[in-house]
Amino acid sequence: MEILLLIFLPLAGAIIVSLFGKHQQAKTAAFIWSLLSLGFTGYLLDGFDPAAGTQFTVDFPWLLSLGSRFNAGIDGISMLLVLLTNALVPLIILASFSHNYKSPGAFYGLILFMQSGLLLVFTALDAFLFYVGWEIALIPIYFICAIWGGSNRIKVNIKFFIYTFAGSLIMLLGIIYMAQQTPDKTFDLLGFYQLSLSTSEQSWVFLAFFMAFAIKMPIFPFHTWQPDTYTESPTAGTMLLSGIMLKMGTYGAIRWLIPVAPLGFAQWGQTALTLAVIGIVYASLIAFTQKDIKRLVAYSSIAHVGLIAAGIFVWNLQGLQGAMIQMLNHGLNVFGLFFVLDIIIRRLGTRDMDKMGGIAKMAPKFSITFLIILLGTVALPLTNGFIGEFLLLMGLYNYNIWASAIAGLTIILGAVYMLRMYQRIMFGPSADNTLTFADIAGTEKVVLFVVCALILFIGVYPKPLLAISETSTRELIDFVNGKIAGGSPTNY
């Protein structure tokens, strides 16, 4: 029953926190409740055996008239995403302490509600349950962005909602079709895995799932909602979207897309890989032209997620393991970057790089933490980003040397535009509005120190994280490859 506590603990917290209404104590209550979820995740991690397959499972009747059961559990692939979710949410809440949002009870309640939906997505072993979690996670982030976002939030959020909801409906059609093909007309994940559909059928199923996951990541050309949404959202919303929510797409590709339709993957995987690689270069080039610091990081995120997606679609151990650890690393790094930018924007009142400069002289602690986060983002050795991007590029190299060479541009281009942003913001002559820039203190210092410590620790010693997912990724790769080759693997 541990899995039920994991999923519903944040939901209970959301209900309690929402009762605080307009009282600012809601943020403290939300932070404490999120720490409970993090502590419980630590308990699960301590008892988790990476070699033992799916654990902490629960399976009981739910919507039997539809053929759906409440079936959920955690394996090595799920565990990393559960860890990411429950580690980032407390940091996101703590990072928002400097803001006094109107109706804080509703704001922080929605964050915890979204956390519950995300955990359901990462643990569901029933397709309809997975879809319910997918939609639950969308509802709170829509309201967070629409109510507490920028001046152009309504137009931007309508576009975001249309994109994601359209992708979800297409995926739902694929889920229903798959369920109708099972002997018992159920939504069980293992039942989907064991189906033997024709190449044509699997191709359509692959495309149905791919649309939903490609929009959520997002990868080229399904990315156009992302920069505007990241820019107009409140900082906590941007952190949730970039740090955790986009991982729903990459996780979905690993858990559902490729294993459910392996012959469809064999037919369309090359196209998906090509789109991911195009997105890496395209987003990196667009990032060069940005003066708005939030939009620059938004395009940087598209490039980095494109590399993660490429590592998934080459479907080998190095690529998949690189994708797993880089999902966690990207979530940590992009959270840190957006928090750094939030500090800058709150102090200076602008997102324009041309109106910044000389901050390092005024805020040395801030400049050092900013640099560490930036170096993790550009994958400097001994930072967390290095091991993930190294494995991803190795996986691409083993698949195709030219794909690896083109995808590797993300490291070169990323280093150029990120270091250029740092130079223009932190060095050079001080602008009028930077002369009184205050150094970090209080919760700002705590959040940035924790992020920097994790970046350096994972960079120096990534083995424990890689060990969590290795057995599960090996088994899933063997299963899919066996299905493509026409065998009858029994791992799943």
CA angle 74, 75, 77 (to 5 degrees): 110
Confidence at 335, pLDDT banded by 50, 70, 90: very high
Q: How confident is the model at residue 489 (pLDDT cuts 50, 70, 90)?
A: very low
Task: Report the pLDDT averaged over residues 482-486.
Answer: 85
pLDDT tops 80 at residue 150? no
Q: Is the pLDDT of residue 50 over 60?
A: yes
Burial of 108 (0-12, 13-18, 19+ CB in 10 A): buried
Q: How far is CA 18 from CA 23, 86, 116, in A?
A: 10, 19, 15
Taking the C-alpha atoms of residue 30 and residue 378, their distance in angstroms, rounded to an integer, is 32
Per-residue pLDDT, 488: 45
492 band by pLDDT with thresholds 50, 70 and 90: low
Instruction: Name the pTM for this structure.
Output: 0.93
pLDDT at 490 over 50: no
Q: Which residues contact 153 (CB under 8 A, 6 or more apart)?
A: 145, 146, 232, 233
Does the pLDDT at position 371 exceed 90?
yes
pLDDT higher than 90, residue 173: yes
* pLDDT tens by residue, 452-465: 999 999 999 999 99
| Residue 257 in tokens | 């897309």
218-236 pLDDT, tens digit each? 888 888 888 888 888 898 9
Span 319-328, pLDDT tens digits = 999 999 999 9
pLDDT in tens, 185-198: 899 999 999 888 88
Mean pLDDT, residues 479-484 taken together = 90
Task: Supply the pLDDT for residue 377.
Answer: 93
How far apart CA 193 and CA 175 sit, in angstroms, is 12
Q: Is the pLDDT reported for residue 160 higher than 60?
A: yes
Q: What is the pLDDT of residue 491?
A: 52
Q: Tokens for 275?
A: 């789109």
The pLDDT of residue 1 is above 90? no
Average pLDDT, the chain: 91
Grade residue 384 by pLDDT with cuts at 50, 70 and 90: very high
Q: What is the pLDDT of residues 389-416, one digit of tens each?
A: 999 999 999 998 988 898 888 788 888 9
Check residue 392 and give its pLDDT.
95
Q: Determine the Cα angle at 308 with ends 138 and 404, to 5°.
A: 155
Q: Is the pLDDT at 145 greater than 60, yes or no?
A: yes
pLDDT tier, 436 (very low <50, low <70, confident <90, very high otherwise): confident
Which helix (H) or strand (E) covers residue 146, if one does?
helix 127-148
Whether the per-residue pLDDT at 35 is higher than 80: the answer is yes
Pairing state between β 55-63 and 68-74: antiparallel
For residue 216 the two structure tokens come to: 């959520």
Which of 261, 14, 247 has the alpha carbon at shortest distance from 140?
Answer: 14
Residues above pLDDT 70, as percent of the chain = 99
Q: Does position 344 have pLDDT exceeding 70, yes or no?
A: yes
